[in-house]
Structure 1
Amino acid sequence: MAEIQPVRAWRYNAELSQRIDDYVSPLFDVVSQKQRETLYRNPLNSIHLSVPRPGPDPSGEALRRLTDWEQSGVLRQDALPGIYAYYQYFRLPGSPQEFVRKGFMCHIRAYDWGENVVLRHENTLPAAVNDRAELLARTQFQTSATHGLYRDDSHELERYLDEAILDPLCQTEEDYQGARDVLAVIQDARVIRRFQQLLAERQIILADGHHRYEGSLAYRQARMAAEPANTGAEPWHFHLMYLTNAASNDLRILPTHRLLLELPGGLTDAEFLARLEPYFVVTPKEDAGDLPDIIAGKPWAFGLYLSGQPYKLRLRPEVHEQLSWDTTPEVKQLDLTVLHYFVLERALGIVGPDAQRQWPGVTYVRNFPECLQRVDRGEARAALITNEVTMQEVERVCHSGAVMPPKSTFFYPKTLGGLLFTSIRDTEPVGLLG
């Protein structure tokens, strides 16, 4: 199945690594414009490589800066190949419990989707893929790892990771999410081979970073077309990935709520509720703040906040068979599929997944209080509150060969850019273990 390789990572030099908080950055698809502008003010922040400032030639500017950082010693390449343990210590909002997500970064062969080794659970936007592919082609440098999931119920690799993390290379005090990030390295060839052997028996589910992964695929396909005599061992066949165990109790997926910025056709609140009635039991509630608790653990249940009034929506079980989208039974069982079909399509008339992805009347918000506030401020007509997707649901959908509705998963916390980088230049050796 999955072929992984150790890497000789490029990292900030020893002095800068002691202040790594100053140089890490959020991933390109979650960093806000305000965060970008703040980070751009630091001339050595990793944002300059991962999300170069817009201009006539942003990819060229990233390459110029990368070359300067390498030549001046801002970045240095580790002398030995390794697999890099990466732990994130975090708490969920309102909970005192500390979790730790354990994983490791390495190179993985960039498998086409049809090879059924790396599995996706969402579709991508071509413009974002092209942007990532262009940056990769110019720099031949991977600036942030995508997040992949393998399943190992025996948790065999964690003991090696736990040992390595006791001797960290660098760590943040607290990142922008409130998490503490710790990086270490495993350079024992025997241990690395065991990682390779275990992953060789596994499929990988792509949790986060579909656009970056497809950017690597696009670049690899272009190089293969230009070099038909390639051996398959060239560095550009590989992609930087952060791998975590899907069997871990500390793997967290947060819900993403739907905010309706408008109701199509000038629907009134009463008309919207009337359109929901054939499909849902609609129950008014007293306190909007209770909506997440009211729907927690209940299938096909949602919170609705409309003009200051909270409601619980529960699908009438007998109508589920009306869900006629051409997809797998695993997808049809999802809460979010039910929501998108019976609310967006049946009640609001936005017909089909493609039309819903393009409809400007819906936006996606992860912060529950923000949903209520934006409705109260008149910035949105209604908020639809959802439960989180489970890891088991993600696995079932991926193995069915289908994809989820947009913005179904939010794996938390997000990984950081800037802890390490990897090169896929032609001069970079692959394998490295002899």
Structure 2
Amino acid sequence: MAKILPFKAVRPTRDKVSLVAARSYQSYSKEQLESRLRDNPFSFLQIVNPGYRFDKEVSGESRYSLVKNRYLEFKEDGIFTQDNTPCYYIYKIVDRENQEFNGIVAAVNAEDYEKNVVRKHEDTIEYREVIFKEYLKTVGFNAEPVLLTYPDNPAIKSIINKVQKERAEFEFTTTYRDTHYLWKVDNIKTIETLKAEFNNIPTIYIADGHHRSTSSYLLYKDLKKANPEHNGTEPYNFFMSYLIPESDLQIHAFNRLVKDLNGLSKEEFLIQLDTNYRIENRGEIPYQPSKKHHFSMYLDGEFYSLHLRKTVYKMESSLDGLDSQILYKTILNPVLGIEDLRNDQRISYINGKKDLVNIKSSVDRGEFKVGFVMIPVLVEEMKQIADDGLIMPPKSTYIEPKLRSGVTIYEF
């Protein structure tokens, strides 16, 4: 059963939240990052890029310590304040396309990750886990929630709807034209109801934030081992998450671009694909697949439809039926010679929110030789793979909502 608890969040003041909130710093171009650091002294980017003050790149333990210092300065300057009692935080995002996401920011038990109550569908890279664990150990806070999803729950939905009739603590719109709302839930009866409802959910799933989840779990193990008086209630036993119902989760595909045909001519390449696919040349008319196991391919100025020959390809597990796995097992690995999907420099990924024009343009410019498009993974597929203890290929899903750092902070 899921142990999802309220916590005393550190939050920006109402007048500064729109200035503090920031995307993950890796998502900014060098020019964007420079602009925000130069022009906005309240941005959370000031905390996670502490070397900017000294006009110097810093890394490792030196950076972690400076991040902690900048964070403490924000608290000392009254930019951040901490709630007096543990609360749940109802959080709504309405994006520029008017899609709405409603969920709850809360503290999730790291032991539930260990017990597989919190389940993953993606693999993680060990050195990144360890680096981020050490970062967390030094700075002592989570600033961006892990995105988790749970089965739709009428009681939780009713509470969310009721609370949202009140005035929001925060309401701000980003330059991406996403509008964010936050309500604080401090009513004891409501807190106990939410706690009980989450406790009745047998399994929740990581949607986005696998490395952050794993690093928080590793931190929990380290600090538990180092504390002879550990009792399970210490703040390090938990990590901050944003929990949304499955019906609110938006999953987009991650499409593939490959730089060459592995020494094959166009004709040789198509002949090899014919083993596993029915191929139809669609010419210059963009082809968007609409069914599982159907793919769009753009090659040499033309679109092709690829329909999997199911009598040839054997599906022996839930993973075998995943389109990104099918593409890997039938084309990317055996034909194009790509083994390591994470590190091979010949392959690149483009999120499925971007249309076919982006695939076409990348190939037409000569940056890539061939592009592949697939339909998004279903929530049910993601859950089944997690339930079976299997791991999706890298970049199988592009999941929304994308959260901002610095709106709620969990200290441990």
State the TM-score, normalized to the length of structure 2: 0.91
Structure 1 unaligned blocks of 5 or more: 93-97, 425-434
Deviations 1:371-412 (A, max 9, x none): 211111111111101110111111111111111111111112
Aligned to 2:378: 390
Mapping for residues 20-59 of structure 1, pairs under 5 Å: 20=18, 22-27=19-24, 30-41=27-38, 42-50=40-48, 54-56=57-59, 57-59=62-64
Give the structure 2 partner of residue 257 of structure 1: 255
Do the aligned partners of 2:156 and 2:194 also contact (CA within 8 Å) in 1? yes
Q: How many residues align?
A: 399
Q: Deviations over 1:185-234 (max 9, x none)?
A: 11111111111111112211000011111111121111112124311111
1:161-189 residue CA offsets vs partner (Å, 9 max, x unmatched): 1222331111222353x321111111111
Structure 1 window deviating more from structure 2 (166-175 vs 81-90): it is 166-175
More off after superposition, 367-376 vs 125-134: 125-134
Letter in 1 for 2:275: P
Change (3 A) 1:104 1:179: same
Work out the CA distance in 2 between the residues paired with 1:319 and 1:34: 50
Q: What amino acid does structure 2 have at the position aligned with 1:407?
A: K
Alignment of 1:5-404 (within 5 A): 5-17=5-17, 20=18, 22-27=19-24, 30-41=27-38, 42-50=40-48, 54-56=57-59, 57-92=62-97, 98-111=98-111, 113-152=113-152, 154-165=153-164, 166-176=166-176, 178-202=177-201, 203-246=203-246, 248=247, 250-264=248-262, 266-289=263-286, 291-292=287-288, 295-296=289-290, 298-321=291-314, 329-351=317-339, 355-366=340-351, 367-368=354-355, 369-404=357-392
Q: 1:29 to 1:150 in 2, by over 3 A?
A: farther
* d(CA) in 1 for partners of 2:180, 2:22: 12
CA apart distance, 1:51 = 5.9
Q: Conserved in 2, the CA contact under 8 Å of 1:140 and 1:423?
A: yes
CA RMSD of aligned residues (A): 1.9
In the aligned structure 1, how far is the partner of 2:46 from the partner of 2:232?
A: 31
Q: Corresponding residue for 1:95?
A: none
Secondary structure of 1:192's aligned partner? helix
Q: Say if 1:9 and 1:77, in contact at 8 Å, map to a contact too.
A: yes
4+ residue runs over 6 A deviation = none
What TM-score comes out, normalization by structure 1 length?
0.87
C-alpha contact 2:143 2:410 (8 A) present in aligned 1: yes
Structure 2 CA distance for partners of 1:340 and 1:312, relative to 1, 3 Å: same
**Aligned equivalents of 2:312 and 2:49: distance in 1?**
46
Q: Quick one: distance in 2 between partners of 1:370 and 1:378?
A: 13
Q: C-alpha separation between the residues in 2 aligned to 1:370 and 1:403?
A: 28
Deviations 1:88-142 (A, max 9, x none): 11254xxxxx321110101111136441111001011223223321221111111
Counterpart contact for 2:21–2:406, Cα < 8 Å: yes
Instruction: Name the CA distance, whole Å, in 2 between partners of 1:78 and 1:167.
Output: 18
Distance 2:169 2:76 in 1: 22
Distance 2:180 2:299 in 1: 39
Contact (CA 8 Å) 2:143, 2:407: kept in 1 or not? no
What is the Cα deviation at residue 34 of structure 1? 4.4
In the alignment, the residues of structure 2 paired with residue 50 and residue 5 of structure 1 have an alpha-carbon distance, to the nearest angstrom, of 27
1:409 correspondence with 2:397: yes
* SS of 1:213 mapped into structure 2: helix
Distance 2:348 2:173 in 1: 33
Counterpart of 2:200, as a letter, is E
Over 3 Å counting, the alpha-carbon distance change for 1:30 and 1:330 in structure 2 is farther
CA distance in 2, matches of 1:35, 1:397: 38
* Alignment partners' CA distance in 2, 1:14 and 1:358: 43
Letter in 1 for 2:281: P
Q: Which residue is 2:54 aligned to? A: none
Asked if the contact 2:89/2:104 (under 8 Å) is kept, the reply is yes
8 A Cα contact 2:253 2:377, kept in partner? yes
Instruction: Give the superposition deviation at 1:52.
Output: 5.3
